[in-house]
Structure 1
Amino acid sequence: MPLSKNGFTLIEVLFSLAILMVIITFFAPSQMTQLNQLKEKQFFELLKYDVLYIQSRARMYENERVLIRFYADEYRIIEGLNTNEVRPYPAGLSIDTFGKREIYFNSNGTVIQPRTISVYGINKTYQLIFPLGKGRFYIAEI
């Protein structure tokens, strides 16, 4: 009975697995960088919606203060004495508020104590700018 040579040898399989591992090693870090950038982008989109939420709630309820309070690793949406939402920061993101840690609006929709908040990401630095007046805040990359 003759021997069939239709299969792969162990050396050939190990060689192709080594090539595959080299390719994965080169592409995995770039994928992680893109994933971190997407998490930062999603965080800022959610923050925009949360600021719009507290601004609209401040217009609706004059007697109840609705605010965002920044902490070392999260921010919270607080209505009166209750914490409604807790939003953790993505990994590698930190916020420096310099002084007051709260953002809130009066019943006209104007921000109380306009200021700039610095946000330090993994590769970029951002500024959350809350201008004087009724305009919404905006994000500037530095």
Structure 2
Amino acid sequence: MAEALITLSGFLVIVSISITLMNPLLSVVKRENFFTLLKADLYYAQLYALSHQREQSIIITGETNRYYINDSRYALDLLVYRTYPADIAVKPGTMPLTFKFLPDGNISRFGTILVHAYGDFYRITFQLGRGRFYVADE
């Protein structure tokens, strides 16, 4: 009986240590998931604008932690609608949080958008011409 209690207490110590180590890992996974989804959605909007020859508006609302992509002509025609965790703050940098992908795949504005995610700062930079963008940490 004593051996079973010692084994059980050892198991509980290992489980409690692993649970405390999971919290930082969870924030890393949430941050990576946000950037992966955002990049995929932006590429999708760009491809949709190219293939359908219509402007696609990207609107990020930092106050409500949402972003959506819709056809510029038909405001009710949502292509993508996503919410992201409250621990992630998206703010305008040199570029506002509303922009468009044009029918040729280029972006209507260029500049940076700032992201504060789980204690780290990131910059999403949209380049002039061809609609390319990248994410960099600061």
TM-score by length of 1: 0.78
**Residue identity opposite 1:75 in structure 2:** Y
Distance (whole Å) between structure 1 residues aligned to residue 8 and residue 119 of structure 2: 33
Distance (whole Å) between structure 1 residues aligned to residue 60 and residue 11 of structure 2: 45
Q: 1:109 to 1:85 in 2, by over 3 A?
A: closer
Distance (whole Å) between structure 1 residues aligned to residue 86 and residue 14 of structure 2: 26
Aligned length: 132
Provide structure 2 residue ranges, at least 5 long, that are not aligned to the other structure: none
**Residue identity opposite 1:127 in structure 2:** R
Alignment of 1:51-130 (within 5 A): 51-62=42-53, 64-71=54-61, 72=63, 73-79=65-71, 80-82=74-76, 83-98=78-93, 100-130=96-126
SS of aligned partner of 1:56: helix
SS of aligned partner of 2:96: coil
Q: Which residue of 2 aligns with 1:48?
A: 39
Q: Does 1:24 align with 2:15?
A: yes
In terms of Rg, which structure is larger? 1
Alignment of 1:123-142 (within 5 A): 123-142=119-138
> Which contiguous aligned blocks of 4+ residues in structure 1 show a shift greater than 6 angstroms?
none
Q: Which residue of 1 aligns with 2:25?
A: 34
Question: Structure 1, residues 52-83: CA drift from partner, whole Å, max 9, x if none?
Answer: 11112222344x43122111311112123122
Question: Structure 1, residues 81-129: CA drift from partner, whole Å, max 9, x if none?
Answer: 1223221113521111256321312222211111101111113211111
CA RMSD of aligned residues (A): 2.2
